[in-house]
Structure 1
Amino acid sequence: MDQNAAVTRRPLSACSLDEAAKAFTEGFVGYVVPVSVRPEALALRIAREDVDTDISEVFFDGGRPAGILLISRRGDRSRISALGVGPTIRSRGFGRRVMQDAIEAARGRGERELILEVIDSNARARDLYLALGFQITRTLVGFSRAATLPVPDVAPAEECDLGTAVEMLFRFSDAGPTWQTDPVSFRQAKPPLIGVALEGKAAALVDDSGADVRLYGFAVDPAYRSRGLGRSLADALAACYPGRKMYVIENVPAGLFDSFMQRIGWSKSTLTQSEMSLALS
C-alpha cells in the first residue's frame, strides 16, 4: 500500500493564503528554528522572492494542510525558497520525491540552475540535497545588535521614500547578492518596510513592525566607503530603536560584512546556512 496515497499536492495558486500559511507552519513543526507564518507575511514573501504560485505546491494529508514547497524564478535560475514536510507525512520518502520532481520540472523549463539554502545543523536535509547532486557554493551568516547595548549619541536616522532607498541599494550593493538580499527583491517595496538614507551615499531597509527590528538591506556608495558613512548610518539606525534588538537573518555571504559588523558592535549568529546549487544544463 502506498503510504503517500492520502497525500495530495495542489498548486499554491489553487489554495487560499490561509491554507498555505497553515501548511507552511505545519511543514516546519520541530524545525531547528521556530517557524510560524501568517497569511500576510506569506504574501509578502511570495512577492519579494518572486515565488511562482503555479509551480509551487501545498501539501495536504487527508484534506489537512501538511506542508509546502515554494519555488521562486528569476530568468533562467530558480530557487527552492521553502520545503517543509509536516510530521504526519515525514519519513516516507516524500520530501525526496518532491525534490526530484522539482529538479526535473526545472530542467523541463530549460533553466540553467536551481539553488537553495539549508541550515547547517539540519544534517538530514543537507545530506538529501548533497545526494541529489547539489554543491555547496558558500556559507551564509547573520548578525544582531543586542537590545542592551548603549544607544549611540547621534541623531536618529530619518525615514526617506522607499523608492529612493531601493534605488540606492540597486546602485550601491555588492556583486553576487543572495536571492533574498538582491535589491530585485525590493523593487516593489511597501510597508512594513521603511527606507532610510544618509547624504545620498548610504541607504538601508528595515522592518520595525515586530518586537525586534529586522535589517533587510544596507549599502554604501563604493566611491565613499572607508569614510565612516556605514558606521554613521548604523549608529543612526540604532538610535532609532533604543532597547530593541536589531538583526539580519542568516542570508549574508560569510566574510562580506564580518569585520564591519564587529566594529559597530553587532555579533555574528552561531547559526549558519549553506547556499547550494545544482547545474541543470
Structure 2
Amino acid sequence: MHHDALFEFHSALPYSSVQLAQILSHCFENYIVPFVVDGETFAGRFTAEDLSLNDSIIVTHQHHPVAVALIARRGQHSRVAALSIRPEMRAKGLGKALMQRIIEAAKARGDRQLSLEVIEGNQAAQALYQQAGLSITRTLLGFHAPLATPAVAKPLQEIDPLALAQQMTAENQRGLPWLIAPESLYKLPGAPRAFTLEQQAFALVIPGAQKCQLRMIYVPPRLRGQGHARCLLQALQSQFAPLALSANVFVPEKVAPFFHHLGWREEALRQLEMAMAIGP
C-alpha cells in the first residue's frame, strides 16, 4: 500500500502550543533521551528557535497524530527543529516521505540551506538524513564547570541580551550553531541575562534552580587571546555560586580546547550538526 494512503499531512498552523507539545511528547516516546514538554515550555523554546508553524508538518493516521516535523526559518535557511515519529509507525517509509516533503517545500520557498542536529549514536535518524542528502558539518559538545568556588573576581556589568546579539551581528559573527546564533540569544526562554567585563568579554547565562546555563561567551575578534574570556567565566562563577555553570550541547568542537584547558568536564551526550545546500 502506498504510504500516502496511510498518512495525512497537515500544516501545524491550526494547532495550539499545548496541542503541539502533546503531539511532540507523544511521538518522542521511547526516545534515546527522555523528552516530554508542556505548552508553555514549547512556546518559549520554539519562539527562540524561530519556529514557522506555517511550514511545520503534522502527520496523522486515521485522524491520530503519528509524526511531527517542526521547521524553523531564518532568511533562506530552514532548520528541522524537531522530527519525531511514533514508535509503532517507524520503518514504514514515513521518515523518508516526511524528509522529501520538507526538502521540496524548502526548495519551493527559495531556501538555500536546510540543517538540523541529531544526537550522536542515533544511527537510524542519521541514516535517514544522509539518505535525504544532508551531511555532517560539525560536532556539538556540552560541558560543565568544576565545582570549586573561584576566588573573588572583578565585578560584572549587566547589559541587555539584545545589545549582545546586536554587537555580535555587527561584528559579523556568522555560522554559529542555530541555538547560540545572535538571532536566538535575546529571546531564549527562562529569563536570559547578559553580562560584560569592561566591554572586553561578554556572556549570556540562564540561571536555573540547579545550575546556571552558559549559552554564549563572546570576545570581540580584536581582543581574543588575552585571557578576557577566562576572567569573565571566573566572575560569572563567583557571581552565581553555589550554582554550577554548564554549557549545553551547542558548543562547536573547535571551541572545546578552551573549556578543557579551564578544567571543564565534557558531557557524554554529543550532537551532530547536519546540513545540505539547496540549489535555486
With normalisation by structure 2, the TM-score equals 0.88
Q: AA paired with 2:148? A: P
Whether 2:28 is the aligned partner of 1:28: answer yes
Q: Deviations over 1:120-157 (max 9, x none)?
A: 200011111111221222222222225xx111112464
The gaps in structure 1 that reach 5 residues or longer are none
Residue 232 (structure 1) shift:
1.1
Residue 3 (structure 1) shift:
7.1
Distance 1:21 1:273 in 2: 22
Aligned to 2:277: 279
Whether 2:96 is the aligned partner of 1:103: answer no
Aligned to 1:220: 219
Q: Deviations over 1:90-135 (max 9, x none)?
A: 2322121111111111112222221112112000111111112212
Query: In the alignment, is the contact (CA less than 8 A) between 1:32 and 1:121 conserved in 2?
Result: no
Query: In the alignment, is the contact (CA less than 8 A) between 1:23 and 1:59 conserved in 2?
Result: no
Aligned to 2:245: 246
Aligned to 2:37: 37
Q: Deviations over 1:236-262 (max 9, x none)?
A: 11123324333222222211x222112
Secondary structure, in 3 states, of the residue corresponding to 1:32?
coil
Q: Deviations over 1:58-87 (max 9, x none)?
A: 344555544421111222221111101122
Secondary structure, in 3 states, of the residue corresponding to 1:43?
helix
Distance 2:36 2:210 in 1: 15
Q: Deviations over 1:255-280 (max 9, x none)?
A: 1x222112222122232222222222
Q: Deviations over 1:210-252 (max 9, x none)?
A: 5332222210122222222101111111123324333222222
Residue 166 (structure 1) shift:
2.7
Runs in 1 of length 4+ with deviation above 6 angstroms?
A: none
Aligned to 1:93: 93
Whether 2:198 is the aligned partner of 1:208: answer no
Query: In the alignment, is the contact (CA less than 8 A) between 1:171 and 1:221 conserved in 2?
Result: no
Q: What are the equivalent positions in structure 2 for 1:1-281 lying under 5 Å apart?
A: 7-146=7-146, 149-155=147-153, 157-171=156-170, 174-188=173-187, 192-255=191-254, 257-281=255-279
- Percent identical pairs in the alignment equals 33
Distance 1:72 1:278 in 2: 15
- Note closer, same or farther for the CA distance 1:270–1:159 as it changes in structure 2 (3 Å cut): same
- Note closer, same or farther for the CA distance 1:167–1:129 as it changes in structure 2 (3 Å cut): same
Q: AA paired with 1:13? A: L
- Note closer, same or farther for the CA distance 1:4–1:23 as it changes in structure 2 (3 Å cut): farther
Query: In the alignment, is the contact (CA less than 8 A) between 1:115 and 1:278 conserved in 2?
Result: yes
Q: Deviations over 1:165-199 (max 9, x none)?
A: 33344345744211221102235567511111211
Distance 2:29 2:269 in 1: 18
Distance 1:235 1:150 in 2: 11
Q: AA paired with 2:99? A: M
Query: In the alignment, is the contact (CA less than 8 A) between 1:202 and 1:220 conserved in 2?
Result: yes
Distance 2:272 2:78 in 1: 17
- Note closer, same or farther for the CA distance 1:245–1:61 as it changes in structure 2 (3 Å cut): farther
Query: In the alignment, is the contact (CA less than 8 A) between 1:11 and 1:53 conserved in 2?
Result: yes
Distance 1:236 1:60 in 2: 51
Distance 1:99 1:76 in 2: 18
Distance 1:207 1:77 in 2: 27
Distance 2:138 2:94 in 1: 27
Secondary structure, in 3 states, of the residue corresponding to 2:225?
coil
Residue 17 (structure 1) shift:
0.6
Q: Deviations over 1:24-82 (max 9, x none)?
A: 12222222222122222221233222221101023445555444211112222211111
CA RMSD of aligned residues (A): 2.4
- Note closer, same or farther for the CA distance 1:109–1:157 as it changes in structure 2 (3 Å cut): same
- Note closer, same or farther for the CA distance 1:129–1:253 as it changes in structure 2 (3 Å cut): same
Query: In the alignment, is the contact (CA less than 8 A) between 2:45 and 2:188 conserved in 1?
Result: no
With normalisation by structure 1, the TM-score equals 0.88
Distance 1:8 1:212 in 2: 42
